[in-house]
Structure 1
Amino acid sequence: MTPAASGAPVPALLADTAGGRDTASRTAHGCWYPSADPAGRQVAFICDRGGVPRLWAGPPGTGEARLLDANPEPVTEVSWSPDGRWIAYTVAPGGSGHTRVLCVHPDGTGRREVAGAVPGSSAHLGCWTRDGSALAVTVAEPVGENAPAETTGSRADEAWAHRDGTAVLLDDAHAAEGRARHPAGAPAGRLSAYLIDPDRTRSPVLLAAEPEAATLRVCDLTPDGRLALLRGGPRGRRRAVVWDTAGRRATCTLAVADGDPWIGRFSADGRTVWLRSDHDREFAALMALALDEHGEPAGLSVTAAREDSDMDLLAFPEDGHRAAVSWNTAGACELETLALNGDGPPRPISLEHEVVTRVAPAGPSGMLLALSGSQRRPGIWLVPHAAPPARTPWSSRDADAVPPGRPPVRPTPQRPSARDGLRLGGWYYRAPGRGPGEPAPCVIHLHGGPEEQERPVFDPLYHELLGRGLDVFAPDVRGSSGWGRSFVDADLGTGRFAAIDDVADCAAHAVTSGLADPTRLAVMGHSYGGYLTLASLVHHPELFRTGISVCGMSDLGTFFDGTEPWLAESAAHKYGHPERDRELLRALSPMSRVDALRVPLLAVHGEHDTNVPPQESRQIVRAAQSRGLAAELLVLPDEGHDFRHAHTRRLFRRTAGDWMQRHLTGAEAR
């Protein structure tokens, strides 16, 4: 492998900020994203005790947890090195999407920035080398005249060409004009993957780079470093790439499903890649991709599959001899382990809660599960070999999920039918104390993505609304994951108009089922769900009494102008190309139909949102106010696209609850 370009990130030492031992283990909090040391004696994880998701570590059996980084930047991912010397983690300064990768020793010393420190750049965590000597990171960086030109193979759509770095994606016919406007060295979308030595004894090494990239993550490396497993491609068209690190070329490209970015791993000899893939399938399965001595494909077979369920998590808890797979069954999970050599039937793992969010090896101790469910906050369980899962001592108890006297609500699954006959999904939460035949004021809550899926997990926002006597219906409209590839693709292009109609059909389902009061319906959602909220209000203005858009797009044209270049690459496959499909995007944009808006609107946005810029909320609120409607904007300081601080999450929930209670029930906010 050749050295990296001069712009490669170099580790920079930071002050140590480790905190003390945990003394509040009984308070309500969440723990997630576990990663164990090689011996399985200590676990690094993310915990929001204290109000911000931070890096902690502790023994999985008995003992206290220790805060390893007391800085206020929210932590989003964690990975313990195979040699046990380092813990790598990703932070989001100010809550923004411009993340950085840091490393720290397990005792809290030696904290250093590994990548993402350059203003305007962003870095994402990749895998460690098998010996733990280097960490793969992906950096979003400008393209300069001296930047290396290697790419990760052919693009998913060669008709796409170039982005000018500030506004829209351009066709090939516009490329020369774009380059003339933006000379070499001007900002543009580019993702580059490097191998970084946290000890700084070796220079960074460039693994791969992709101009105008949508995503790029290094998921695994063969023990000799000859091959890398990359995950790239736009949303809805993710791909696994087997990458020859010396020849800088793709030896094989295979479709993989959206969802968890850790898509697979190489066998110990580098001759097999185990993948979570939906290649030529409706639902993702475990596949074995055989490779020859040159890393070229030599065969593909299905190792484990279900006809009506996606595999949404794949991990390797027993040194690659067995796989742990999580099956998505209408939003809930079923977990099992299986021998990769086919020796013996799968072993089911009993789960205390509905959803597995992560599986991680714990060496001789077994494996770790991050669990969430409708009855508890996220927690971490240790699964010893041939023993049932046990909650770790620093994960909160189920009894601490909500304040005393307000038990969490277990939702019921729903399968509405769209007007064109497509079966949808979702979960209905009934407010406590409501009789079975009593129609209730109801909030339709729409998830983001669009490829996300509504899962039966504890959501404090839902319980805020339920505590005010409001039901919540959280549906999966077309475009959501978990229901097969055809369902995910059903909203592409003009299919998005049908997705907007799905929201109205889900409202009708809640009413005709006798659950919701047709005169007291509201709609709200986050990100794409915020867009869908605005679109529903202007396409079906007679249905809802109010709406709340959270970090939603109000104009798809200005969204493409303002979002991150690599996010624009990924989003154009879902929504439409901002040049070729300009008229479609205009027709789909709520701002183009704002005259149809009839009801009060609340918009909420993070101050530092770089995914969907706050201007998207500002312009729709101004437009509503200019038409004499009640419209308000709540901007949350020090937050980005996802709200990570406890005090702002509480402010958001209280504000949303007050708004919905006032407009659906006429009652004064408490």
Structure 2
Amino acid sequence: VYASTARNGVDHDLYLRFLDEPQRVELLWEGDGYWYPLDWSPDDRQLLIGLYRSINESYLYLLDLASGRIVQIREADDPQISYGAALWSSDGSKVYFCSDHQSEFQQLKVWERSSGRFTTLTEQIPWDLQLLSMSPDGQHLAFTINENGASRLYLLDTGTETYREVRNIPLGQIGNLSWHPGGRQLAMTIDTSQQPGDAYVLELAELKLTQWTFSEVGGLAPDQFVEPQLIHYPTFDEVDGQPRQIPAFYYRPQSGDRPHPVLIYIHGGPESQYQPTFSPTFQYYLQEMGIAVLAPNVRGSSGYGKSFVRLDNGYKREDSVRDIGSLLDWIDRQPELDSHQVAVIGGSYGGYMVLASMTHYNHRLCCGIDIVGISNFVTFLKNTKSYRRDLRRVEYGDERDPQMRAYLYAISPTTNAHKISKPILIVQGLNDPRVPASEAEQMLAAIRQNGGEAWYLLAKDEGHGFRKKSNRDFYTKAVMLFLQQYLLCAR
């Protein structure tokens, strides 16, 4: 089962393709919006499916394949509930799922079909649950949580509905949970800041973890790779009378006897989160160029509760940019960092944040690198692919409303391009369906019209980000050259 916009290019319907008859396809469910499949029932007669409206609003349903009817699994009438992963118990009597109903975070819950009763199982875990995986015998449910940007693994005994943490897991990102048919082993991938994603297997009996693959790193010494430090810095507003703290990951060069130049990496989304994984590019910045890297999770990022996610919605858009200003203040106070040598880099929404930071803090930055970034919210909402438009309006605001349209236009980087006097590298894929190339081109024109310096890298065979190795290599070298010329030479 898979989701596709084949019907009208806008709505995600659900289709069934038969593996033994690859050309045979059946439409299972047709509806407005973004529908997605979750899990087959044990008897293959029903399907758990979801409907996504926004990061704060989604719905969970049962689809009966014989009748084509759906039944909503509803904890409450509140529309502001977000549902995550979901799966069946081995006998089909229960559904385990994640939701943030009556909580800031995605919690593990169970729905008993016979009684209709809902029970929360992880009230004591103040973090979002992410992955769920049921053992073939139905006795164990493995799940991961996102604790401050790092994955933690837990095992739930479905009989007693008690859980325990598996503590010998390397600190990083856990993915691809998969059980052995016998139910005695659990496979996963783990990606850390010091090694690329590798396959591991956990023996349930003694909770012994064994690394099965060892990805090559080009002859380099992984033990010399820099691990980030999680820091928190105060920003402009308060929570309970105290300055709000913004989390960030700080990669500090191991050598150097003078203050380090700084590169601020801003993630996209905006409802995403920077989570430390293996980045050869970051390691090159650190070890070969002597650049410190800071990766903040500004307001609007996921992983810190649904209230934090909502802090940048609509008319609060520029509050997230102010969080970058507060990070610049923090850099000023660090003796090992050079506050006169700071650059910003980011992609997609992170590209908008780069451009907005350059308009607000031009005097405090040396340069910026905008990768497939939004330059004008009004034109972006007009030109992005139709299947994404309503999803983005929930986050950014509805440009069809005159007041909101005026606000979005006023804060857009193209409107404020005259404030940018520092060099910018703009990177774009010509075939980008999310952030069209017109966003890059109009920003480029606005900067140059105002006498600013802008480099432009356009890949005619790429979309939302670069995928082909030749293009990625060229992009990486262009970024290094740009930073060498405008960040390192700013000393």
> Does structure 1 retain, via aligned residues, the 8 Å contact 2:249–2:295?
yes
**Residue 491 of structure 1: CA displacement?**
0.9
> Does structure 1 retain, via aligned residues, the 8 Å contact 2:154–2:163?
no
**Measured at CA, do residues 640 and 632 of structure 1 come closer, stay the same or move farther in structure 2, by a change above 3 Å?**
same
Picking from 446, 469, 475, the partner of 1:623 is: 446
**Residue 284 of structure 1: CA displacement?**
1.2
What do the CA deviations read for 1:227-282 (whole angstroms, capped 9, x no partner)? 32112223323424213332533332467658xx6x11022343321012212211
What is the correspondence of 1:647-666 to structure 2 with a 5 Å cutoff? 647-666=470-489
Determine if the alignment matches structure 1 residue 464 to structure 2 residue 329.
no
Picking from 331, 337, 340, the partner of 1:510 is: 331
Distance 1:614 1:459 in 2: 26
Distance 2:354 2:91 in 1: 50
Distance 2:335 2:480 in 1: 23
Distance 2:222 2:35 in 1: 47
> Does structure 1 retain, via aligned residues, the 8 Å contact 2:16–2:26?
yes
What is the correspondence of 1:388-403 to structure 2 with a 5 Å cutoff? 388-393=208-213, 395-396=214-215, 400=217, 403=220
SS of the residue 1:571 aligns to: helix
More strand by share: 2
**Measured at CA, do residues 667 and 655 of structure 1 come closer, stay the same or move farther in structure 2, by a change above 3 Å?**
farther
**Measured at CA, do residues 570 and 344 of structure 1 come closer, stay the same or move farther in structure 2, by a change above 3 Å?**
closer
> Does structure 1 retain, via aligned residues, the 8 Å contact 2:121–2:161?
no
Picking from 401, 404, 416, the partner of 1:593 is: 416
**Residue 286 of structure 1: CA displacement?**
0.6
What is the correspondence of 1:57-206 to structure 2 with a 5 Å cutoff? 136-143=1-8, 189-200=10-21, 203-206=24-27
> Does structure 2 retain, via aligned residues, the 8 Å contact 1:576–1:584?
no
Give the structure-2-normalised TM-score.
0.90
Which residue in 2 is equivalent to 1:340?
A: 158
- Name the amino acid aligned to 2:203: P
**Residue 389 of structure 1: CA displacement?**
1.9
> Does structure 2 retain, via aligned residues, the 8 Å contact 1:317–1:366?
no
Distance 1:661 1:222 in 2: 56
Picking from 37, 42, 50, the partner of 1:231 is: 50
Distance 2:367 2:272 in 1: 24
> Does structure 1 retain, via aligned residues, the 8 Å contact 2:49–2:63?
no
Picking from 220, 239, 244, the partner of 1:422 is: 244
Picking from 93, 103, 126, the partner of 1:308 is: 126
Picking from 103, 108, 113, the partner of 1:291 is: 113
Determine if the alignment matches structure 1 residue 361 to structure 2 residue 179.
yes
Which residue in 1 is equivalent to 2:240?
A: none
> Does structure 2 retain, via aligned residues, the 8 Å contact 1:337–1:349?
no
- Name the amino acid aligned to 1:413: L
**Residue 532 of structure 1: CA displacement?**
0.8
Picking from 28, 35, 39, the partner of 1:220 is: 39
> Does structure 2 retain, via aligned residues, the 8 Å contact 1:601–1:621?
no
Which residue in 2 is equivalent to 1:603?
A: 426
- Name the amino acid aligned to 1:220: D
Which residue in 1 is equivalent to 2:101?
A: 279
Which residue in 2 is equivalent to 1:327?
A: 145
Give the structure-1-normalised TM-score.
0.67
Distance 2:153 2:476 in 1: 33
SS of the residue 2:350 aligns to: helix
Picking from 288, 311, 318, the partner of 1:490 is: 311
What do the CA deviations read for 1:518-556 (whole angstroms, capped 9, x no partner)? 211111101111111111111222221110001111111
**Measured at CA, do residues 196 and 592 of structure 1 come closer, stay the same or move farther in structure 2, by a change above 3 Å?**
same
Distance 1:567 1:625 in 2: 30
Distance 1:481 1:319 in 2: 33
SS of the residue 1:490 aligns to: helix
**Measured at CA, do residues 603 and 274 of structure 1 come closer, stay the same or move farther in structure 2, by a change above 3 Å?**
same
Determine if the alignment matches structure 1 residue 613 to structure 2 residue 432.
no
SS of the residue 2:307 aligns to: helix
Q: Which contiguous aligned blocks of 4+ residues in structure 1 show a shift greater than 4 angstroms?
A: 253-258
Distance 1:644 1:462 in 2: 18
Which residue in 2 is equivalent to 1:559?
A: 380
**Measured at CA, do residues 666 and 531 of structure 1 come closer, stay the same or move farther in structure 2, by a change above 3 Å?**
same
Distance 2:223 2:465 in 1: 26
Distance 2:468 2:172 in 1: 25
Distance 1:525 1:611 in 2: 15
Q: Runs of 5+ in structure 1 lacking a partner? A: 1-135, 144-187
Give the RMSD, CA atoms, in angstroms: 2.4
> Does structure 2 retain, via aligned residues, the 8 Å contact 1:139–1:191?
yes
**Residue 349 of structure 1: CA displacement?**
4.5
Q: Aligned residues, how many?
A: 475
> Does structure 1 retain, via aligned residues, the 8 Å contact 2:194–2:223?
no
**Residue 299 of structure 1: CA displacement?**
1.9
Determine if the alignment matches structure 1 residue 433 to structure 2 residue 255.
yes
**Measured at CA, do residues 328 and 515 of structure 1 come closer, stay the same or move farther in structure 2, by a change above 3 Å?**
farther
> Does structure 2 retain, via aligned residues, the 8 Å contact 1:231–1:238?
no
- Name the amino acid aligned to 1:207: L
- Name the amino acid aligned to 1:379: D
Distance 1:428 1:243 in 2: 44
- Name the amino acid aligned to 1:443: L
- Name the amino acid aligned to 1:320: G
What do the CA deviations read for 1:494-538 (whole angstroms, capped 9, x no partner)? 221110101111122122133421211111101111111111111
Determine if the alignment matches structure 1 residue 250 to structure 2 residue 71.
yes
Determine if the alignment matches structure 1 residue 267 to structure 2 residue 132.
no
**Residue 385 of structure 1: CA displacement?**
2.6
Which residue in 2 is equivalent to 1:531?
A: 352
- Name the amino acid aligned to 2:383: G
- Name the amino acid aligned to 1:236: I
What do the CA deviations read for 1:313-351 (whole angstroms, capped 9, x no partner)? 222234432111212221122212111222655252411
